[in-house]
Amino acid sequence: MKRRLVSVLIGMTMAAALLGGCGGSSNTATDEAADDTAAEAEAEGEEAASGDLITVGYAQVGHESDWRTANTENYQNTFTAENGYELSFVDADNDNAAQIEAVRSFIQQELDYIVIAPIETAGWDTVLQEAEDAGIPVIIADREIDATNFDAFVGTNTVDEGVTAGNWLGEYLDGAEANILVIEGSVGASATLGRTEGFNSVVAEHSEWNIIDSQSGDFTQSGGQEVMESFIKSYEGQFNVVVCQNDNEAYGAMDAMDAAGITYGVDGDVIIISFDATHDGLQYTLDGKINCDVECNPIQAEVVAGVIQAMEAGEDYPESTIVEDSAFVAPGIESAYAITMTQEILDGRAY
Ligand code: GZL
């Protein structure tokens, strides 16, 4: 809006000047209309100047997980009018086409900035070119994309998250066999691709490990439960490790194993590795139900706002900012790759 008002303001002022210039000093109807238009534009300009809100569009993945809820709340609490922003927020409900259309609507609204947490890595070239043609900077946040025509990235390194999970498992098993089932995240999401790539790079270093099967649980609790139920039907008694690519899938997997009488966690038959380290995930880790929970920090909005402020000021800004992650393990587990959970850590968590 700020940008459009300035362009409208410039347009109207120029039109008024041209009309006035063309009609000379005579006080014709055209001149009066031009004077009114210029006065309106000036009034609007003053209003914008006093308001001076930076308009930001955020095309969010959806509402599939506790992580996503924390991320959405972080944006809504950061891009407020008090902080100088007008946020246009769209929840794309895990629908890639809808998310691309949301970005197109931001372009049509001529927002000042567009932020995208892309559901999938593919399919972004065309709409990003449209944003570029419209002169609207685009920040890719949370997940990565295949296209390169955007202005900045703020997110986490999900390949490193997968490597951390694998390194912890190697330390924990200390040479023992692992027969692994993987409940992957949403198909085509960079978080899924990254965690899989990172974890599998460590699996390749362990001849005593075997990934029996992997299926997508779509980063949801119901998806995690359905996949785990299917795995139990096919592989009961054959596996001792379940890797869930987010906490909500882990909750579903635990429900399925409870129903089948399969024990898990530090005192159970099955090791559970999860990702996100949300509050409930870390509660399960503190309780010893999840052995290792690798963090993926959803609190990214402040970093995005910093990039936007630098762009506003015409200053240099980082093209890529990786938000730091940790990993947490159940009490009684000491690790070089993860922090041993305590109640104090849980109480101090932001999400
Ligand atoms: C990771 C993020 C993933 C989380 C899931 O960066 O994109 O999406 O791990 C969420 O919980 O659904």
Token pair, residue 7, equals: 């362009």
338 pLDDT more than 90: yes
pLDDT exceeds cutoff 90 at 293 = yes
Distance 247 CA to ligand 1 centre (A): 9
Residue 276's pLDDT band (boundaries 50, 70, 90)? very high
The arithmetic mean of pLDDT across residues 189-205, rounded, is 98
Counting ligand 1 atoms within 8 A of each CB, the residue from 63, 66, 68 with the most, and so the one to mutate, is 68
Q: Is 289 in the pocket of ligand 1 (CB under 6 A)?
A: no
Q: Are strands 292-295 and 327-329 parallel, antiparallel or unpaired?
A: antiparallel
CA of 23 to the centre of ligand 1 (A): 62
Ligand 1 centroid–CA 9 distance in Å is 42
Pick 42 or 71 by higher pLDDT: 71
Looking at ligand 1, which atom is closest to the CA of residue 219?
12
Q: Do strands 241-244 and 339-340 pair parallel, antiparallel, or not at all (unpaired)?
A: unpaired
pLDDT value, residue 350: 83
Q: What is the mean pLDDT of the chain?
A: 90
Tell me the pTM: 0.86
Asked if 254 and 264 count as a contact pair (C-beta separation under 8 A), the reply is yes
Q: What percent of the chain has pLDDT above 70?
A: 85
pLDDT at 22 > cutoff 50: no
Summarised one tens digit per residue, pLDDT across range 34-57 is 566 666 656 555 544 446 899 999
Q: From the CB of 251, is ligand 1 less than 6 Å away?
A: no
Provide the pLDDT for residue 89: 98
What are phi and psi for residue 20, nearest 5 degrees? Answer: -60, -45
Express each pLDDT in 301-316 by its tens digit: 999 999 999 999 999 9
> CB atoms < 10 A from the CB of 249, how many?
32
Tokens at 95, concatenated: 């629908």
- Which residue would you say has higher pLDDT here, 158 or 11? 158
For the Cβ of 151 lying below 6 angstroms from any atom of ligand 1, the answer is no
Q: What is the pLDDT of residues 245-271, one digit of tens each?
A: 999 999 999 999 999 999 999 999 999
